Amino acid sequence: MAKTRTTYVCDNCGAEYPKWVGKCSACGAWESIREFREAKVKGVAAAAPPSVRTLSQKNAAPLKRLATGERDFDQVTGGGLVPGSILLFGGEPGIGKSTLLLQLAGRLAAEHVDCLYFSGEESVEQLGMRAKRLGIHSERLAIANASAVEGIVTEIQERNPAVVVIDSIQTTYTEEGESLPGSLSQVRSSANRFLRLAKDRDVVIILVGHITKDGYLAGPKMLEHLVDTVLYLEGDRQHQVRLLRAVKNRFGATSELGVYEMTPIGLQPVANPSELYLDPQRAAVSGSVIVSDLEGNRTFFLEVQALVSNAAYGNPQRNVTGFDLRRLQMLLAVLERRVGFRMGTQDVFTNVVGGFKLDEPAADLGVAVAVVSSLKDRPVDPRTLVLGEVGLGGEVRGVQQIRRRLEEAAKLGFKQAVVPESDRKHLDGLDMRITPVRSVLEAVDTLF
24-60 pLDDT tens trace:
887 788 888 877 765 554 444 556 677 777 766 655 5
The mean pLDDT of 412-416, rounded to a whole number, is: 88
Q: Give the per-residue pLDDT at 44.
A: 46
The mean pLDDT of 299-322, rounded to a whole number, is: 90
Q: Give the per-residue pLDDT at 333.
A: 96
The mean pLDDT of 273-301, rounded to a whole number, is: 81
pLDDT in tens, 313-345: 778 999 999 999 999 999 999 999 999 999 999
Distances (CA, A) of 124 to 128, 143, 146, 334: 6, 7, 10, 58
Phi, psi of 444 (to 5 degrees): -65, -45
Q: Give the per-residue pLDDT at 175.
A: 85
Q: CB within 8 A of 83, min separation 6: which ones? A: 64, 66, 162, 202, 203, 204
The span from the CA of 308 to the CA of 196, in Å, is 57
Beta bridge pairs of residue 207: 88, 166
The pTM is what? 0.73
Residue 354 confidence class, pLDDT cut points 50, 70, 90:
confident
Q: Return the DSSP state at 61.
A: P
pLDDT in tens, 379-391: 999 999 999 999 9
pLDDT in tens, 198-245: 999 999 999 999 887 777 777 777 889 999 999 999 887 667 888 899
Q: Give the per-residue pLDDT at 312.
A: 79
Q: What is the rounded average pLDDT for all residues in the chain?
A: 88
pLDDT in tens, 361-375: 999 999 999 999 999
The mean pLDDT of 92-110, rounded to a whole number, is: 93
Q: How many CB atoms lie within 10 A of CB 239?
A: 13
Residue 254 confidence class, pLDDT cut points 50, 70, 90:
confident
The span from the CA of 76 to the CA of 417, in Å, is 30
pLDDT in tens, 179-205: 788 888 889 899 999 999 999 999 999
Total H helices, total E strands in the chain: 11, 21
Beta bridge pairs of residue 116: 142, 164
Q: CB within 8 A of 141, min separation 6: which ones? A: 105, 106, 108, 109, 115, 117, 131
pLDDT in tens, 143-155: 999 999 999 999 9
